Chain A
Amino acid sequence: MGLQSSGSDEETEQGRRKRRDFYLYIGAIVIVMASEVLFIVLLALWSPNVLSRFFPYITAVGGWAVILIPAFLVWFIKRSDPIGETLSAGGTDELQGRLVRPFIWFPVAVALNAYPITRISLQLIDGGLGSVRYSASSGVLLFLLLGVGFSAALAGKGIYRKYRGVLDDELFLKNRATGIQTGFYAAIAAMVIAYFVGLYDPAWGIAILPTLCGAAIATAGLRFVFLDWKAGLDG
Chain B
Amino acid sequence: MTDPILGNRLREARTAAGLTQAELAERIGVSRKTINTIENRVFTPSTLVALLVARALARRVEDLFFIEDSGHR
Contact = CB atoms under 8 A, between A and B. Distances in A.
Interface string B12-43: 00000000001001100111111011001011
Contact of A92 (B31, B40, B43, B46): B31
Given A170-B45, A170-B49, A171-B43, A231 B26 contact: no
Greatest chain B CB density within 10 A among A91, A170, A174, A233 is at A170
B67 to A, nearest CB: 19
Given A91-B22, A91-B26, A170-B49, A235 B31 contact: no
Given A92-B25, A93-B22, A235-B40, A170 B33 contact: no
| A: interface residue count bin | 10 to 19
Contacts of A91: 22, 25-26, 31-32
A82 interface: no
Nearest to A174: B43
B26 A169 contact: no
A232 interface: yes
Contacts of B31: 91-93, 96, 169, 171-172
Given A91-B25, A92-B25, A171 B40 contact: no
Nearest to A11: B22
Interface of A is mostly: helix
Contact of A170 (B22, B30, B36): B30
A92 B25 CA distance: 9
A93 B33 contact: yes
Interface of B: 22, 25-26, 29-34, 36-37, 40, 42-43, 45-46, 49
Interface in A177-235: 228, 230-235
Contacts of A231: 33-34, 36-37, 42-43
Nearest to A166: B29
Given A93-B22, A170-B43, A172-B31, 9 more contacts: A92-B30, A170-B46, A171-B30, A171-B33, A172-B34, A174-B43, A231-B34, A231-B36, A235-B40
Contacts of A174: 43
Nearest to A7: B23
- Residue from A171, A172, A228, A233 with most neighbouring chain B CB atoms (10 Å): A171
A60 to B, nearest CB: 36
A3 B72 CA distance: 46
B10 to A, nearest CB: 14
Interface string A91-127: 1110010000000000000000000000000000000
Given A91-B22, A91-B25, A231-B42, A169 B36 contact: no
